[in-house]
């Protein structure tokens, strides 16, 4: 990032008003988190092993101070992954990131307001050399090497399918190659969703206390309860793709490979990353530009201004 940006918003699960600050960071520092509301304000670098909870959100914690934890990081991580931001200090004054309008569009907007700059260091990417797969209760997540056709344009390819009992969702699937353009166009605006009948139980567990029709799609069997409806009939699977893109960035490395998910979620995504890191023969670090084709450069066009009214709760001050 070229300069600092910040915003305020509501935490999806805590219901608290939270300030978020995104600070430029030097080369090699990676993605780091800091709780400014805690004593001593310890900062920690994000790694797959940092994830300590995956119940309805991805939660990271300081490796030696487990009370320093930050929840609901997946949407911002998805934007960072797509925009190829490798070094960043993320500061919050509460237990989770603000949910804003329940997707990643507001984070993309903030990052583009800040601007992106190149640092004087070589970027390493993680190339998948052998398949790695995890599964549980009929759900699965897999990372595999690129096919011969995909090697012509190396990067992260994703295939994901979902199946929900609510007929308004049902079975959906989505396939894509991750880049800044495809993320902004197809993924960034897809909102988190919940079944109406589950809300009371979630709130009794201390979850979803900040949820509303302004930051989540609420479904009830055959219908969507939000007055504006969905942002396309496949918004549900596109949001699950957003979650996967964010979860796969929890090691701070962009992946060259093919991800396949069937009914996968935060827990399986983290298990997959841990399994990958525990299988050193399944991957290698590849410096940018070392692949058979040149590094792909993405544009930095700002989001259309007409969409700014959709970014509810975003009280942004770019400094």
Angle at 250 between CA 178 and CA 40, to 5 degrees: 140
Q: Cβ-count burial of 118 within 10 angstroms (0-12 exposed, 13-18 middle, 19+ buried)?
A: exposed
For residue 3, give both structure tokens.
């300069």
87: DSSP letter? -
Q: Catalytic annotation on 239?
A: no
Q: Please, what is the angle between helix 235-247 and helix 266-277, to 10°?
A: 30
* 226 burial level (CB within 10 Å; 0-12, 13-18, 19+): middle
Nearest to 314 by CA among 1, 7, 15: 7
Strands 88-92 and 31-35: parallel
**CA–CA separation, 177 vs 153, rounded Å?**
9
- Rg of the chain in Å (alpha carbons): 19
Angle, helices 74-83 vs 105-114, to 10°: value is 50
| Interstrand relation of 69-70 and 59-61 (parallel, antiparallel or unpaired) | antiparallel
Of 81, 239, 266, 269, the catalytic one is 266
d(CA 312, CA 99): 10
**Catalytic residue set:** 266
């Amino acid at each position: 990032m070229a300069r600092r940006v910040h915003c305020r918003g509501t935490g999806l699960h805590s219901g608290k008003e939270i300030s978020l600050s995104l600070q430029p960071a030097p080369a090699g520092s990676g993605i780091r988190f800091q709780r400014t509301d805690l004593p001593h304000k310890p900062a920690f670098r994000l790694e797959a092993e940092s994830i300590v909870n995956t119940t309805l959100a991805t939660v990271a914690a300081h490796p030696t101070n487990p009370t320093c934890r930050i929840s609901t990081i997946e949407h911002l991580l998805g934007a960072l992954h797509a925009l190829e931001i490798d070094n960043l200090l993320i500061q919050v004054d509460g237990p989770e990131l603000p949910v804003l309008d329940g997707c990643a569009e507001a984070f993309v907007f903030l990052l583009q307001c800040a601007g992106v700059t190149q640092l004087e260091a070589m970027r390493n990417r993680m190339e998948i050399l052998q398949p790695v797969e995890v599964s549980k209760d009929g759900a699965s997540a897999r990372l595999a090497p690129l096919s011969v056709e995909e090697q012509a344009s190396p990067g992260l390819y994703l295939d994901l399918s979902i199946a929900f009992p609510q007929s308004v969702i049902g079975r959906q699937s989505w396939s894509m190659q991750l880049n800044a353009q495809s993320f902004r166009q197809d993924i960034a605006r897809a909102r988190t969703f919940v079944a109406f009948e589950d809300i009371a139980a979630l709130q009794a567990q201390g979850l979803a206390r900040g949820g509303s029709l302004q930051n989540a799609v609420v479904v009830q069997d055959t219908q969507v309860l939000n007055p504006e409806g969905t942002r396309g009939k496949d918004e549900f699977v596109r949001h699950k793709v957003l979650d996967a893109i964010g979860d796969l960035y929890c090691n701070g490395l962009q992946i060259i490979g093919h991800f396949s998910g069937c009914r996968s979620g935060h827990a399986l995504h983290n298990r997959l990353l841990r399994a990958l890191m525990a299988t050193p023969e399944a991957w290698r670090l590849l410096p940018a530009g070392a692949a058979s084709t040149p590094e792909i450069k993405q544009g930095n066009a700002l989001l259309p201004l007409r969409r700014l009214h959709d970014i509810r709760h975003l009280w942004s001050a770019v400094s």
